[in-house]
Amino acid sequence: MVVSAEPRHLADRYDVLIVGAGPAGMAAALGARERGAERVLLVDREVEAGGILLQCIHSGFGLHAFDEEITGPEYAQRFFEQVLDHDVDVLTDAYVMDVTPDLRVKLMSPAVGVTTVDAAAVVMAMGARERTRGAIRIPGDRPSGVMTAGLAQKMVNLDGYLPGRRAVILGSGDIGLIMARRLTLEGVEVVGVFELLPHPSGLTRNVVQCLDDFAIPLHLATTVVGIHGRERLERVTVAPVDDDRTPIMARAWEVECDTLLLSIGLLPDAELVRGVGAQMDPLTGGPVVSGTMETTLPGVFAAGNVVHVNDLADWVSLEARVAGEGAGALATGARRPEQDIRLLPGDNVAYVVPHTISSDGTHTLSFRVRRPIHGPTVLRLGDVHRHKVRAVVPAEMVTLKVAPRLLADFHGDALRVDAVPAEEDER
């Protein structure tokens, strides 16, 4: 499946240029082609397209995009086959260094050297990167054996190395849970998963199928407070935390291990989009985007984890298709939909994407709640729309569809998005 655009095929001008060929970039390429863009270039820094999907060998992908549960590599390959069918140019092993406000894209690769390509529209689809030990400042030694869960996943699933023999996992995000199971199946002893919060960060399905199935203990409201070992990790100190998340050192204990995996969250890999001067949202760490996923810089679109960290690749692809369609439409001369309504995170909502919408368009709003509500919940869009769901948890992104008919009688310029228990929802 390794396909790289031959340098001689690389044009110096494209309708739509997409940075990143993961689940977002590939879907954006399809969206752009379907909306009339003739020349689309997909660029990725790895030697093949697919992004992080290639190391996500577990199933759980495709339920929304393909109506079928498949693994990450299968999801990547299906998308990539469609990308090739749609005559998209693909340039891998290439790094985008800079994008100027007039959409000149400077890229570098062993095959083409340093070159500049002009684009009528650009889609930023660089995804996210993992938070590391530095982000949470765990005190102690600096031995080998401390790494992010995603790095361990790459070592095991692509390179065929085990990171150690006895592992502790900090953080109950999905990657950490998946790796607890993966290491167990490969014969590594997983001593336990420690989670700072009083509830798991990952999907319930993963708590059950990755931990409970293998009797791996999950310690909630507990964290790693010390790392010990000269050359190699020898043990960690763990401690329960109080309601303010302060470790209770009197109740700390030590756990022997040679490996500590960190699954402590993802951050949008947004340097490139920040660098071009797009306005950023401090709540998501990604750019501010319109209903067509266009940033505040005209012609620069963004989608997927670079905008906000999703929990399903399927959501990423659906959102990126919107971005690709927007970019394709703009590149072929369509009028930009007027963004007449701002969306604001309200009660129990951490952020909302997109940040603005057009009242004459159909949109899917994505947001995350701050606190779990274990029962009937009302999702409110100002006074114009109420939608009831069974429950909401921070680990699972919430989506809400908005159609023009809901906004026909609305004449304001901003709508708040709330997620409240049904009994508190008073009209």
Q: Does 157 bind another protein (CB under 8 A)?
A: yes
Determine if 396 is a binding residue for another protein (CB under 8 A).
Answer: yes
- Tell me the chain's radius of gyration from C-alpha atoms: 22
408 binds another protein (CB under 8 A): no
Assess 68 for contact with another protein (CB under 8 A): no
Tokens of 142: 């600096």
Instruction: Tell whether residue 331 is a contact of another protein (CB under 8 A).
Output: no
Judged by CB under 8 A, does residue 69 bind another protein?
yes
Q: Which of 84, 249, 391, 408 is in the footprint of another protein by CB under 8 A?
A: 391
For residues 134 and 148, the answer to whether their CB atoms sit within 8 Å is: no
Sequence-ordered alpha helix ranges (H) in 120-223: 133-136, 149-154, 174-185, 204-206
The closest alpha carbon to 416, from 364, 355, 373, belongs to 355
The least CB distance from residue 283 to another protein, in Å, is: 21
327: closest CA among 83, 17, 23? 17
186 binds another protein (CB under 8 A): yes
Nearest CA among 20, 27, 4 for reference residue 326: 27
| Rounded CA separation 294/285 (Å) | 16
Q: Does 395 bind another protein (CB under 8 A)?
A: yes
The residue (of 33 and 182) whose beta carbon lies closer to another protein is 182
Asked if residue 393 binds another protein (CB under 8 A), the reply is: yes
Q: CA angle 5-313-105, nearest 5°? A: 35
CB 166, CB 258: distance < 8 Å: yes
191-210 positions binding another protein, by CB under 8 A: 204-205, 207-209
In the complex, what is the shortest distance from the CB of residue 181 to another protein, in angstroms, rounded to a whole number? 9
Closest CA to 129 of 2, 251, 305, 329: 305
* DSSP classification of residue 201: S
Total interface residues for another protein by CB under 8 A = 40
Closer to another protein by Cβ: residue 175 or 236: 175
Least Cβ distance, residue 125 to another protein (angstroms)? 21
Q: What is the DSSP letter of 286?
A: S
Nearer to another protein, 74 or 234 (CB): 74
Both tokens of residue 225? 């407070």
Does residue 1 touch another protein according to CB under 8 A? Answer: yes
- The single residue among 38, 68, 141, 212 that binds another protein, judged by CB under 8 A, is 212
Minimum distance between the CB of residue 393 and another protein, rounded to whole angstroms? Answer: 5
Name which of 262, 226, 223, 224 is nearest 140 in CA terms: 226
Q: How far is the CB of 75 from another protein (least distance, A)?
A: 9
Residues 337, 351: contact at Cβ < 8 Å? no
Q: Is 374 in the site for another protein (CB under 8 A)?
A: yes
Nearest CB to another protein, comparing residues 205 and 245: 205
Site for another protein in 46-65 (CB under 8 A): 47-48, 54, 57-59
- Helices 313-331 and 23-34: angle between axes, nearest 10 degrees: 40
Which one of 113, 139, 160, 333 is in contact with another protein (CB under 8 A)?
Answer: 160
Residues with Cβ within 8 Å of residue 3, at least 6 apart in sequence: 48, 49, 80, 84, 90, 92
CB of 72 to another protein, least distance (A): 8
**Binding flag, residue 45, another protein (CB under 8 A):** no
- Residues engaged in binding another protein (CB under 8 A): 1-2, 47-48, 54, 57-59, 69-74, 76-77, 156-160, 184-187, 204-205, 207-209, 212-214, 374, 390-393, 395-396
